[in-house]
Structure 1
Amino acid sequence: MRRRLWLCVMFSVLPLAGCTSAAERPTPPPARSPVPAPPIKLVAFDSCDQLLKELRAATLRGLTPYGLPGAVPEAAYAARDMAGAGAVDAAAAPPAAAPAYSGTNVHEAGADEPDIVKTDGRRIVTISGGTLHVIDAVGRRETGRLALGLHGGAQLLLSGDRALVLGYSERKTSRLAYPSMGAGVILVDLSGPPRIISRYRGDGRLVDARQTGNVARVVLSTATKLDFPYVDGDDKSRLQRNKRVVNRAKVDAWLPTWEVTTSGTTTEGRTDCGAVSRPDSFTGSAMLTVLTFDLTAPALTDGSPVSVVADGDIVYGTPTSLYIANDQRWRIDAIGGRSAPDTEIFKFALPAAGKPVFEASGAVPGRLLNQYSLSEWDGRLRVATTDLAERESAVRVLEQRGGKLQEIGKVTGLGKGERIYAVRFIGDRGYVVTFRQVDPLYTLDLSNPARPAVAGELKITGYSAHLQPVGDDLVVGVGQEASAEGVREGLLISLFDVEDPAQPRRLAQHVVADSTSEVEFDPHALLWWPATRLLVVPVNGKANGAVAVHVQNGTIRAAGNLAGEPVRRSLVIGDQLWTLGDSGLGVANLSTLERIGWLPLT
């Protein structure tokens, strides 16, 4: 979910301060090239007075005659799908009689990710059109549905008989006379007909979430509530008026607020000043908050919020750590296409129970592609970025030293004149795909974190947008085939042998002409079922449906026909393959892929 200046246009029907058209507002002068951020370290606030003083000072430093750069009204995010997006869910174990089943395709085992569908082997829980549906996988029938009252692209997590649904919710605040949009979290009981136990409403946008066991960590980003109404006059007078707004503001203008409703009773509150930390350098325009919810608890709480004065776009998690990265890509919009500042990274330690602990922060040059650009291994963080100014990519290794994530090694010069299209770190190796006309697949030796190095390179046409491990020293790439001139030609599935990192090879490929796949931008859409070596990839183009292939013995072999209705997700439950589309669920025999059932969701 990236900030965009045109969001003001999208929401011009709402009475939001600060959203004026270009015709009403003079064009601001070009921003100066960003100065590289100094090293950042961890500092906690001792009191609300100290917090307010430093927030005002930081906000004034970045203030312009037109307000704060990059700030977007919270209501604007209501129309944006939640970003983000496992092995079998790490939540409560299903009954012993439950058949084998697949889970969400996630980055790290034991850190489940929200998605539009989940299963525990006995039932399927999915969200379509703002309604939660529960399907009996054995009887192949819908057993319950629940209107959620959420907006945007809702997703969910599952733990036993509980679902945690994440989306956007209307909220009436004392500051506004009309409902505003903010993060919405709903705890649903699935033990009988689905029912809402508790509803959490909070400021800001949903960045992402991760679940380990029955505990979910939900990340929100909240913009400042400072109101900078446009007034006539020159830039100097407008800036002076904006400064007065900042100097008169109370700490509530920055602190996120929340409300929780359970059994008709609503409790309200705000994040405590003592729960807020900051890096050395910050703008005061946004605040990251990590909430903790136990899916087995009787009801939702305030989430025990832990906040950092910063913004965030990408979440990467392991069972013991949570990283939030902010590549400040909005600055590219604000400064007319110039390269963005460094990517900031914030690390939280995750105890088995209770709130996370903000441990360290750091920065690297360039920007990330997605969460797969980050990987924790042996206590260190590997980071892959593309530097738009230098027009090349790099992988850096960061080590936590006190409150800092400090660089201890790097390999640069990847894909000169290109950008990263896919990254995957597997153990002490890394795989990076860059692209402009041909696809260099780089294999990286990361066994010595102080001296990471390129081990090998494979140049082929096209590119991979997602890399999926499919066994020892085998990786599948899903992306686009392309001509020698770099013109995209259709969906490409490649099988790479990386046993010898110095000489990576492509063993096989499968092309679907004039087609794309949701996997290219959301790996949750991919199904890899190791038991039968089955790979299922949704396809959109001349023919909708999915490509199902067997990946074995160095080949990619067609497994059957899944053409027909558009497919967004695929699930294995016992000897059945379920496919989810916008209009319903299809059921096929796992061995033959012959259709044996259809369940509409209308």
Structure 2
Amino acid sequence: MNRRLLIACASAATVAAATACTSPSPDPTIETIPWVPVSAQLAAFDSCDDALEGIQDAAIAAFSQWEFDELARNGGEEFAVEDSGATSAEAPAQAAGDDAFSGTNNAVAGVDEPDIVKTDGTFIYSVVDYDKLRAVDVRTGEVTAEHDLGDDAWNHQLFLGDDELLLMSGLGIERGDEWVNEFRLERLDTASLEVLDTFTMEGSMVDARLVDGEVRLAIGSQPLIQPVWDTLYTGEADESDIAEAVRDTELEDWLPSFEVNGEAHEVDCAEVAHPERFTGASVSVLALPADGGWTEAAPQTVMVDGETVHGTTDSLYLAHYDYAWGDDEAKAESEIYRFVFDDGQARLAGEAAVPGSLLNQYSLSEFDGHLRVATTEDPTGGGCGPWIDCLWGGEPSEDAEPSKSTVTVFAVGEDSLQETGSVTDLGVDEQIYAVRFIGDTGYVVTFRQTDPLYTIDLSDPANPVVTGELKITGYSGYLHPVGPDRLLGVGQEATAEGQTTGLQVSLFDTAAAEAAVLDQYYREGADSAVQYDPHAFLYWEDASIAALPVSDWDMEYQSGVLVLDIGADTLTEAAWIDHSAADVDPYNTQILRTVVIGDQLWTLSNAGLQSNDLGGDYAQTAWIGW
């Protein structure tokens, strides 16, 4: 895990950067601009000189907010955040029949998402035990090819096209005095797993999508300004010293470089856009043909630190969380940028801002010419959720406004996002834990002590309306449609005080204006990765089953896959499948993914692959250990 540069977090300490085109004064200290909401309107730099000056101005404004003595004493650790190795109705299932097989659990049909396992129904390709990419022939149970991932790479993800396998990885590269994160995309031969094409770029993958033979990438990059950090950590630097060090930087220190099959390239200054406030981090969006033959790339770079990506067949949405920390109250918004792709070229085609923060990509949905966005405003400054502590451990003051959630609707124009309506005050004093948009209906789960499942009618984009508020104990962390008027929720049961007690899977009837609970499955002391990783979830309509990995600490640690039969109004445990027979560390047998191929249910762990009969007694039929 690598630390993110401090400047990428500067807005958390009440940063507001100066406008990009101010000219430097003899005094290098720059006055900061107060928090200005709705900052998503982008501008472009006029030239490379203008870009360097504007970026330096913004960085100096950001650094002016720091307590330099305190930073020097702590070596910056107080404000350091670790990089995480980095989620509309159903996953794409192949045609039913004996040769049917499941795909990745994607948010949008026809838009594939990167994952650690892919299959074409004959071969299973996986990257699970950190050092090997493997191809397994399910007909023979043999590992037919391996590809060494290397010791310096991490966060391996896969795409599988018609005739190509695409491997994405993060790497640590030493360049001079700095250790640089690098993103690498390789196109591999599906039979031999030999590398055919390579693209690399300074930074880390935010997310990616595969649509109609085109790989769409969002890559986040941090500036390479070690001399600035060296000045900062002397313990004797003031704002003037830091400003002088920033002025000594060059444009290549701020903008990422990239290589296409070994040929070096730089980001075009004319393709760099920036909001009113920014700190020096950037995200580059680009597309490459999945079938290879790469000779060039044309990144569209935005000076933001984007975290969330949502893809459709036509668009790629990038959400950037921007927040300021004031003496009186926290302020936050999420800026949303829409990209479209013309002949393989990424182009900015609209921007907007919404109050608060997004939970994940399921907080975004495009339907019938409109974008719907679900967010939570939090008095502690946002960033709180089921798996994230509130930023800085903050607590709202007694007179602070309570948290609340909002669904905002935008009309998607050719080059614009225009707000048409919104509905707010959902889950007052609570946080969003799950969102699912299905057609012109939205489902939002908020939680603090109980779980209101809100049903929202979005058929009139100018007037979204809450039609139902179902309250049950516990919460759902992931929602998935499982047939007409049926919704499955995976989450946790909880006491009346909000204390979680174990895995809870709920089957909801959504036929009426307000959802109703039909049945629930409960497993004390257990939880599922599905709550924070939807790719771990499998719904197989042909057999009407759901499979989810479960870890259980009730009596002693055990892990496996829970298979649930989904009836018209019932949930029944059909099987528990584990890899406990493997003679390895039990934590390596934690099942990460489940795949259906024909009449077999394949489960994948760091220890190997196992197949079980689909249906009946789910008897084990094969084991392939690594």
Taking the aligned partners of 1:370 and 1:432, their CA distance within structure 2 comes to 12
Amino acid paired to 2:606: D
Matched AA of 1:391: S
Residue 513 (structure 1) aligned to one of 517, 524, 527: 524
Give the residue type in structure 2 aligned to 1:591: G
Say if 1:104 and 1:113, in contact at 8 Å, map to a contact too: yes
Contact 2:298-2:346 at 8 Å conserved across structures: no
Preserved contact between residue 387 and residue 393 of structure 1 (Cα < 8 Å)? yes
Write the deviation string for residues 456-480 of structure 1: whole angstroms up to 9, x where unpaired: 1111011000000111111000000
Aligned pairs for 1:290-305 within 5 A: 290-298=285-293, 300-305=294-299
Q: Say whether 1:373 aligns with 2:372.
A: no
In 2, the alpha carbon distance for the partners of 1:477 and 1:232 equals 48
Inter-partner Cα distance in structure 2 for 1:320 and 1:214:
13
Quote the Cα distance in structure 2 between the aligned partners of 1:303 and 1:461.
51
Alignment of 1:311 onto 2:305: yes
SS at match of 1:341: strand
Shift of 1:485: 1.5
Deviations 1:157-216 (A, max 9, x none): 11133211112124354xx256533212222111x3211123332111211111102211
SS at match of 1:57: helix
Give the CA deviation at 1:57.
2.9
What root-mean-square deviation, in Å, do the aligned CA atoms of Structure 1 and Structure 2 show? 3.2
- Is 1:82–2:106 an aligned residue pair? no
| CA distance in structure 2 between the aligned counterparts of 1:488 and 1:193, rounded to whole angstroms | 48
How far does residue 562 in structure 1 lie from its aligned partner after superposition? 1.3
Residues 7 and 61 from structure 1, CA distance in 2 versus in 1: closer, same or farther, beyond 3 angstroms?
closer
Amino acid in structure 2 at the alignment position of 1:354: G
Residue 12 (structure 1) aligns with: none
Tell me the equivalent position of 2:198: 199
C-alpha contact (below 8 Å) 1:575/1:589 kept by paired residues: yes
Stretch of structure 1 that moved more, 176-185 or 503-512 = 176-185
Distance 2:258 2:76 in 1: 19
Aligned equivalent of 1:20: none
| Alignment correspondent of 1:165 | 167
SS at match of 1:327: strand
- The 8 Å contact of residues 72 and 223 in structure 1, kept in 2 or not, is answered as no
* Deviations 1:555-588 (CA, angstroms, capped at 9, x unpaired): 1122223144421110000111000111111100
Could you say if the C-alpha distance between residues 67 and 309 of structure 1 is closer, same or farther in structure 2, counting changes exceeding 3 Å? farther
Residues 98 and 599, structure 2, Cα contact 8 Å, conserved in 1: no
Question: Would the aligned equivalents of 2:538 and 2:546 in 1 still touch at CA under 8 Å?
Answer: yes
- Identify the range of structure 1 (312-321 vs 177-186) with the bigger mean alpha-carbon deviation: 177-186
Of residues 480, 490, 493 in structure 1, which corresponds to 2:492? 480
State which of 273, 276, 282 in structure 1 corresponds to 2:272.
Answer: 276
Match of 1:411 in 2: 423
Closer, same or farther in 2 for the Cα pair 1:340/1:187, shift >3 Å? farther
Counterpart of 2:535 in structure 1 is: 524
Supply the AA of the counterpart residue of 1:508: D
- Aligned ranges 1:525-540 → 2 under 5 Å: 525-540=536-551
Structure 1 pair 204–360 and aligned structure 2 pair: CA distance change class (3 A): same
Cross-structure match for 1:131 = 132
- Secondary structure of the structure 1 residue equivalent to 2:219: strand
Q: Which amino acid aligns with 2:164?
A: R
Paired residues in the alignment total 557
Would the alpha carbon gap of residues 32 and 241 (structure 1) be closer, same or farther in structure 2, given more than 3 Å must change? closer
Q: 1:297 to 1:140 in 2, by over 3 A?
A: same
Instruction: Identify the residue that residue 267 of structure 1 maps to in structure 2.
Output: 263
Q: TM-score, normalised by structure 1?
A: 0.85
CA distance 1:122–1:377, shift in 2 (3 Å): same
Aligned counterpart, 1:285: 280
Any residues of structure 2 matched to 1:22-171 within 5 Å, and which? Answer: 35-64=35-64, 66=66, 80-84=83-87, 99-128=99-128, 129-149=130-150, 151-171=153-173
Aligned twin of 1:219? 218
CA deviations over 1:122-166 (Å, ceiling 9, x no partner):
111000213100011222221111102252221111113321111
TM-score w.r.t. length of structure 2 = 0.82
CA spacing shift, 1:88–1:429, aligned 2, 3 Å: closer
Partners of 2:474 and 2:67 in 1: how far apart? Answer: 43
Deviation at 1:304, TM superposition (A): 2.2
Cα–Cα, structure 1 residues 87 and 380, in superposed 2: closer, same or farther, change >3 Å?
Answer: closer
Residues 104, 115 of structure 1: 8 Å contact kept: yes
Q: Is the 8 A contact 1:526 1:570 kept in 2?
A: yes
Deviates more, 1:355-364 or 1:41-50: 41-50
Query: Are 1:66 and 1:238, in contact at CA under 8 Å, matched by a contact in 2?
Result: no
Q: Secondary structure at the match of 2:436?
A: strand
- Equivalent-residue separation in structure 2 for 1:38 and 1:528 (angstroms): 39
1:500 corresponds, among 512, 519, 529, to 512
* Aligned residue identity for 1:597: A
| Contact 1:43–1:277 (Cα < 8 Å) also in 2 | yes
Aligned-partner Cα distance in 1 for 2:593–2:272: 38
Greater Cα shift, 233-242 or 152-161: 233-242
Structure 1 residue 243: Cα displacement = 1.3
Cα displacement (A) at 1:232: 8.1
In structure 2, distance between residues paired with 1:309 and 1:458: 41
Q: 1:88 deviation in Å?
A: 6.7
Distance in 2 of aligned mates of 1:595 and 1:337:
61
Residues 393 and 322 of structure 1, relative CA distance in 2, 3 Å threshold:
same
Deviation at 1:250, TM superposition (A): 2.2
Cα pair 2:508 2:515 within 8 Å, conserved: yes
Change (3 A) 1:47 1:32: closer
Offset at 1:65?
6.8
Q: Does 1:570 align with 2:581?
A: no
* Letter matched to residue 252 of structure 2: D
Q: In the alignment, which residue of structure 2 is the partner of 1:545?
A: 560
Letter in 1 for 2:433: Y
Structure 2 partner of 1:345: 336
2:425 partner amino acid = G
In the aligned structure 1, how far is the partner of 2:97 from the partner of 2:575? 29
| In 1: Cα distance, 2:66 partner to 2:591 partner | 45
The alignment-based identity, stated in percent, is 36
1:447 is aligned to 459
Q: Which amino acid aligns with 1:386?
A: T
